[in-house]
Amino acid sequence: MPSIKLQPRCSGSAKRTTTASTPNNPLPALLQTPSGLALLELQGTINVPSGDEDDIDYSTSTDNPASTFETPIGKLMFPDYSVHNPDDTKWMKRAYMYVGRYQRMTGEVKKLPRPIAVLQRRQAAESEELEVVEIVRYKIFFKSRPEPVTTV
């Protein structure tokens, strides 16, 4: 089949919002999207252990029966952001990402030159279909390497 449909809307979005425990979106309002998805660009990459035995250990230690789990990496901070003054965009110039406790990257929030559509394979479609899950207009961008920090 030489043609694949790209649906302009996400079929699963309704499902996702109805689940009772939708987590609160902690990001600054500018970075929040209806689906909650946001973009983070990094020079380099995040390496997490990929060993399968580790996975099983983690998943059995939590009560969650699903084999999903989260590995903590660090913290994100927008030091100049204030919820009381959302129209002021000066805070975008500074963002921190702590990797572990002793390393920190300095970055910023940038408006994308062109908006980016996040695409996903549509579930439960009889033929192969894609869908636009979200259109993202900003990214959190860390272009420098981590620096050591002694005190947080």
Partner 1 sequence: MSTQASSSILFTHFRPQEGFRLLELTPELEELLTSKDAPVLELKSPSTALAQAVVDPTANDYVNLCTPTQTYRIRQVQSSNSLHILRPSHGEISQADIKVVEEEAGESGALNLPDEAVTAVAKCSSTLELHIPPGGFSAIPFLEKSLRLYDRRSDDDGDIAMGGSADSTSPLGFKEMRTVRENVCQDIPVSTAQCEQGWMQLCAFVDGAEEVACWRPSARSRLTVWKRLVEGAVLQGIDLEKQFLVGDLWKSVLDDEEEMEPPFPRGLLEAVVRRICIADERPPLADDIKWASFDKIECTQWVGETYLAAAAPTVSSAIGRSEFLRAWKDCLPETWRREAALSKLPNGCYNSPDPTTICFVEPSQRQPTNKTASAPATAAKAKNTRNWHELLKGHR
d(CA 42, CA 49): 19
**Binding of partner 1 at residue 97 (CB under 8 A)?**
yes
- Min CB(65)–partner 1 separation in Å: 13
**Reduced to 3 states, what is the DSSP secondary structure of residue 65?**
coil
Closest-CA residue to 118 (of 39, 51, 25): 39
DSSP state, 21? Answer: T
Q: How many residues does the chain have?
A: 152
**Residue labelled with tokens 């420098």:** 144
**Binding of partner 1 at residue 29 (CB under 8 A)?**
no
**Reduced to 3 states, what is the DSSP secondary structure of residue 54?**
helix
**Binding of partner 1 at residue 51 (CB under 8 A)?**
no
- Min CB(133)–partner 1 separation in Å: 7
- Min CB(137)–partner 1 separation in Å: 9
d(CA 124, CA 64): 25
Residues 98-137 that bind partner 1 (CB under 8 A): 98, 100-101, 114-121, 130, 132-133, 135
**Binding of partner 1 at residue 4 (CB under 8 A)?**
yes
* Contacts to partner 1 by CB under 8 A: 2-9, 21-27, 35-46, 48, 55, 58, 61-62, 64, 67-79, 81-83, 97-98, 100-101, 114-121, 130, 132-133, 135, 139-140, 143, 152
